[in-house]
Structure 1
Amino acid sequence: MPAPKSKDPVEDQLKSFVADDPNSKYAFDSVERDAPQSEICREGNKLSRKCITLKMHSTRMFAAMQEQGFFCVLPMDPSQTHIECTRIPKS
């Protein structure tokens, strides 16, 4: 079932990207703090990893991923700045 359309076309792009493989792990990052765009990647092996760049601040991306049922955290390594998101299983 396709994700419902929102009023924000960028958010629709994110929902469409996640809908392609909703059970994968995702990671996103911005080039610099408060940057107006972020890159989000669907994690997998090197051959199946796919990334897109969206005009969305990382704080909005964080909220949008949580709205889609993902739990997002910083990685354990403090030198890393990306945010990792995993879908919360529905019971």
Structure 2
Amino acid sequence: MAKENPAQTLKAFVSEDPSSRYTFDSERDAPQSELCREGDKLSRKCIMIQMHSTRLFQAMQEQGFFCALPMDPSRTHIECKPIPKS
């Protein structure tokens, strides 16, 4: 069985709906992160991706997203929104 390519997995997941808002979270220094496509409760979809959160942050920016911590200081996930194409 071939080892999955995390960058390809990310690209494929985001390409399903590139205009959605995404969030990701992981334990400190964990080698994987949970990446979720946010929608209503029925359409929210999450995957586990073999990428440290710092690399995932960078990879999402490379995909054209602006990523930041949420305004609520009690939340620890990162929110990524698509940067509008001008």
TM-score, with length taken from structure 1: 0.89
Tell me whether 1:87 sits opposite 2:74 in the alignment: no
Deviating beyond 3 angstroms after TM superposition, the runs of 4 or more aligned structure 1 residues are none
- Distance in 1, Cα, partners of 2:77 & 2:55: 14
Following superposition, the deviation at residue 56 of structure 1 comes to 0.4
The alignment partner of 1:59 has SS state of: helix
The alignment partner of 2:60 has SS state of: helix
For these two proteins, the number of residue pairs brought into alignment is: 83
Following superposition, the deviation at residue 9 of structure 1 comes to 1.2
Identity level (%): 72
Superposition RMSD on alpha carbons, in Å?
A: 0.9
**Which 5+ residue runs of structure 1 have no aligned equivalent?**
1-7
Match 1:61 to one of 56, 70, 75: 56
**Which 5+ residue runs of structure 2 have no aligned equivalent?**
none
- Distance in 1, Cα, partners of 2:6 & 2:64: 18
